[in-house]
Amino acid sequence: MLKQSSNGMKKVMFILLAVLLAASVTAVAENATSTNGVSSTNKIIDISMKNAAYNPKSVEISMGDTVKWTNMDSIDHGVEGSIFKSGVMSPGQNYEFQFTTPGVYNYKCPLHPADMTGTITVVAKSSINSITDAAYVSNKTIKLWET
């Protein structure tokens, strides 16, 4: 009678432990996702606006990167593209936009559209890295099977 109840207690403790373990494994997995995710590798690319020109005029960035334009001129400027629009930016003001879709984005200053233009080229994260990662994983798997 006493032994039976002790066994039952052990079973409950085991289930409790299993649940706790599963919860902590899930927490670790979620942490890994957020640290290795796109957000941690994103960059901010600075473009200045001076002498009625963007500098640099053309930039190539990765998906998820943010471009930050700063008006360092003595007159008003702006940034206007197909999916982003700053409005009028006074001297000293800045505007940020995060690019999440690959493509070529031409833009212009709404106040000086004839001679103040720029291009943002957004490239997808390197596919070569994905292939390397896949090879690494499969290599690991083979080694696991061998031992």
Smallest distance from Cu ion to CB 71, Å: 8
Q: What is the CA radius of gyration of the chain?
A: 27
CA atoms within a 13 Å half-sphere pointing along the CA-CB vector of 19: 6
Q: How far is the CB of 112 from Cu ion (least distance, A)?
A: 4
**Segment interacting with Cu ion (CB under 5 A) among 5-13, 38-46, 90-98, 101-109:** 101-109
Q: Rounded to whole angstroms, what are the CA distances from 143 to 53, 130, 134, 140?
A: 56, 20, 14, 5
Alpha-carbon distance of 75 to 69, in angstroms, equals 14
- For residue 67, the minimal CB distance to Cu ion (Å) is 16
* Total residues interacting with Cu ion, rule: CB under 5 A: 5
Reported residue count of the chain is 147
Q: Which residue is nearest to Cu ion (CB)?
A: 109
Q: Report d(CA 40, CA 52) in Å as an integer.
A: 34
Piece of the chain touching Cu ion by CB under 5 A; list 26-34, 74-82, 94-102, 123-131 = 74-82
CB of 99 to Cu ion, least distance (A): 21
Of 104-133, binders to Cu ion (CB under 5 A) are 109, 111-112, 116
Lookup: tokens for 61: 């960035």
Q: How far is the CB of 121 from Cu ion (least distance, A)?
A: 21
68 counts as binding Cu ion under rule CB under 5 A: no
Give me the helices (H) in the chain, please: 2-36, 38-41, 127-146
Give me the residues that bind Cu ion (CB under 5 A), please.
77, 109, 111-112, 116
